[in-house]
Structure 1
């Protein structure tokens, strides 16, 4: 058993009953090939919750500061995360994200770039569109619907992959693609709230 599998099973055993997590739309999740998994961001636990409910291991970017914390940095790295310098375009992190997708893995991303203080969906950053346009990944929208309260139901909804062919043919910008991804996340939130 890998460290990732072990950590996932431990977190699942605690979080699933505590937050009464329900996953919907798992049938839409591609079981092979690269996947760009784009979710809204309402809580610090979102990466863990989206990850434990996904049927495949998920790789994430995590803020660089976490990797400098003794012990925690090592755990974060073993849980398929890689560092990103926030606040400006980190080329190394972009290359690593593309490599994750090129190798056929699942790359989880929160297009808003930070947690929503109000719980409402914010504006997405161009990064999601960049990865969607520069890879052959299936782009899967995901909605996390709270609240994060003990024994209150928390939903994680995986939507159908968003077709990217037309956007690529029309040479859409990263911003336009991100906008489309955010619209799909918004639809999932509206439909399941």
Structure 2
């Protein structure tokens, strides 16, 4: 097994164990908090900008500082909500089920991170590297990257690097 395959499995494994220890609902709430924080920072920064009062001497800088303030505020509120949810789950006795589902969530998150890394690897032209071509895991990541590309809206896909060169297809009957 190549070191890249071990790194890939390590990332997926760490993600799965983080999910196991935190649990499904706190993990899901954390993911939703990040999405809402990014969206809110982008869309509601105009509410904070006037309070900066031109003190930063740059409209560009004021925009990004106000986005950052909204982003951090939403992350803090979401983090607090996550702690409350985790405490409530521990009190209900659903902790074992929540942790098992958290493990599965972590596996999926790790696989999506892996697929996203493969997706962006297209801009680095790593496909011609020997370790890329010899990897047992990268063909799986290529399939995940293709799935990610398929579920994203076209206005996002247009900014992604070109699809990586084709990898050998995975034949489950042949064991990989």
* TM superposition score category, shorter chain reference: under 0.3
Q: Which has the larger radius of gyration?
A: 2
Q: Which has the higher strand share?
A: 1
Q: Which has the higher helix share?
A: 2
TM-score by length of 1: 0.25
